[in-house]
Structure 1
Amino acid sequence: MTALAGAGAALLGGRLVRAEPLSGGDLSQIVRITLADGRVAIVKNGPAPRTEAAMLAAIGAAGAPAPMVLAASDDALVIEALPAGGSLRNAWGSLGAALAGLHRCVGPRYGWDADFAFGRVAIENTWTDDWPTFWAERRLLTSLSQVPAALARRLEALAADLPNRLPRHPPPSLLHGDLWGGNVLVEDARVSGLIDPACYFGHAEVDLAMLTLFDRPGPAFYHAYGVLEPGADDRLVIYRLWPALVHLRLFGGGYRGMVEGFLAAARA
């Protein structure tokens, strides 16, 4: 933590006077620093700080709330400290509106300019013109060698059938990529920032699948976000497989039941 705080202070060209570790970083270290001139900032490491900086900038450019990037290097990302004293249960409408705005930003194809990672789990983002192909090759099939053989066979069969289950060319919306309650900062009843992104362009329902994996958005969220397209429930199950597989690979067999449950729900 001391080294990370020092790296952040150096990037800002200031003298470090205080460093406080922050919770919530399962896959990275996060620290709040205070400099001698009174500036306060958040410093974190991670798989690719410069790539994450570009992702945060893209979220902000789309008009969605995100912390301003103050500096970045190969080892550290420094962002502004946003107010976050509220609870998401009071801000579902604000999140729905923010996410709708984010998803209105569309890219040329499916993917991102750089790969990323959740810890040791690689996130492959090579550009693709066909959405079912992207979801099969960049998300589901990347886990085949990392999961038990029985699960791998079911994933492989599902991936082969994705052209019959997913739209071929949905709008390539800008996705947060790791949207859950812990990555949403709230002040009062307003979302103050979306943090810890794993952005790429893809089907907007992917963010909804991740958000509803562990959280239960209230009616105000859907009122602000808008009506989902027919068949969304079936697709959300398929999209939840990706974060479930990530949890299985990162945190172990306790998540195998989640993966199997989504495969069963997807009739795979």
Structure 2
Amino acid sequence: MSALAAAGAALLGGRLAQARPLGGGDLSEIVAIALADGRTAIVKGSPAPRTEAAMLRAIAAAGAPAPAVLAASDEALVIAVLPADGGVGTAWGDLGRVLARLHATTGDRYGWPEDYAFGPVAIVNRVADDWPTFWGERRLLVNVPHVPAALARRIEALAADLANRLPARPPASLLHGDLWGGNVLVAGDRVSGLIDPACYHGHGEVDVAMLGLFARPDRAFFEAYGPLAPGHAERLAIYSLWPALVHLRLFGSGYRTMVERCLAAAGA
């Protein structure tokens, strides 16, 4: 039995009877556990379990589905097991409704009370009153020291022009922050839970851009979510650039083409 499984059982105050590793955790260990008294749970070795717990609670408080947080410590996050017998492709319409509900919850400023991380890649969430400043400084320029010089120059030029490309003060929507198909649990044609969040407040199109980076949401999604404002194509490219840069830093040069494609689509 893994140390993570044992930590989860201890947090629940039960005796561990069974544990099995779960796939999909590229950056964190995840295990399903069963206790001797019949209870089951998912235990995750999050980079910051208490912070992730707060994010899951925020998603649930917004009226979007998320696994209940059963316990959290500095080492482990324990969450409820949710039904998940389908894929996001069967639930585009419901995901559009879920995301619209999430984004209807807004904050006063852009960012989040705490920084976070994707593995070794820091997510800087220091709040800002101006959206282009937040995106330029916290999401693009922080990557400049970690990418090849040719890409760095293009990123710097784009960041310097964001005031002309992004809305100054869009609604500061509650964002999932890492919304790709693997982080959407589906049961039948309904979303049963949004998992593995990296929440902060920002322009809702950020989540839409991330969702479209590895999948193609269909018409049902956009009909349910609502129309995007004019000029969204360029903005989606700018917003897709950040996860592309994260993938480049985490997984290597195979993602350089994705970064370059986003830059080109953004006119940078």
Structure 2 length-normalised TM: 0.99
Q: Residue 58 of structure 1 corresponds to which residue in structure 2? A: 58
The reply on whether 1:192 has 2:182 as its aligned counterpart is no
2:247 maps to amino acid = H
In structure 2, how many angstroms separate the alpha carbons of the residues matched to 1:221 and 1:264? Answer: 26
1:213 to partner: Cα distance: 0.1
In structure 2, how many angstroms separate the alpha carbons of the residues matched to 1:216 and 1:45? Answer: 30
Q: Residue 133 of structure 2 corresponds to which residue in structure 1? A: 133
Q: Residue 24 of structure 1 corresponds to which residue in structure 2? A: 24
Q: Give the aligned length.
A: 268
Q: Residue 110 of structure 1 corresponds to which residue in structure 2? A: 110
In structure 2, how many angstroms separate the alpha carbons of the residues matched to 1:256 and 1:211? Answer: 19
2:30 maps to amino acid = I
Q: Residue 88 of structure 2 corresponds to which residue in structure 1? A: 88
The reply on whether 1:120 has 2:120 as its aligned counterpart is yes
Q: Residue 262 of structure 1 corresponds to which residue in structure 2? A: 262
1:266 to partner: Cα distance: 1.3
In structure 1, how many angstroms separate the alpha carbons of the residues matched to 2:87 and 2:180? Answer: 13
Per-residue deviation, residues 123-150 of structure 1 (Å, max 9, x unmatched): 0000100000000000000001000011
Q: Percent identity?
A: 72
Gaps of 5+ in 2: none
Q: Which runs of 4+ in 1 moved over 2 A?
A: none
Q: Secondary structure at the match of 2:161?
A: helix
In structure 1, how many angstroms separate the alpha carbons of the residues matched to 2:187 and 2:262? Answer: 34
1:87 to partner: Cα distance: 2.2
Which range moved further: 75-84 or 258-267?
258-267
Q: Residue 226 of structure 1 corresponds to which residue in structure 2? A: 226
1:262 to partner: Cα distance: 1.1
Gaps of 5+ in 1: none
Per-residue deviation, residues 183-221 of structure 1 (Å, max 9, x unmatched): 000001110000000000000000000000001111111
Q: Residue 216 of structure 2 corresponds to which residue in structure 1? A: 216
Structure 1 length-normalised TM: 0.99
In structure 2, how many angstroms separate the alpha carbons of the residues matched to 1:218 and 1:241? Answer: 22
1:235 to partner: Cα distance: 0.2
1:119 maps to amino acid = G
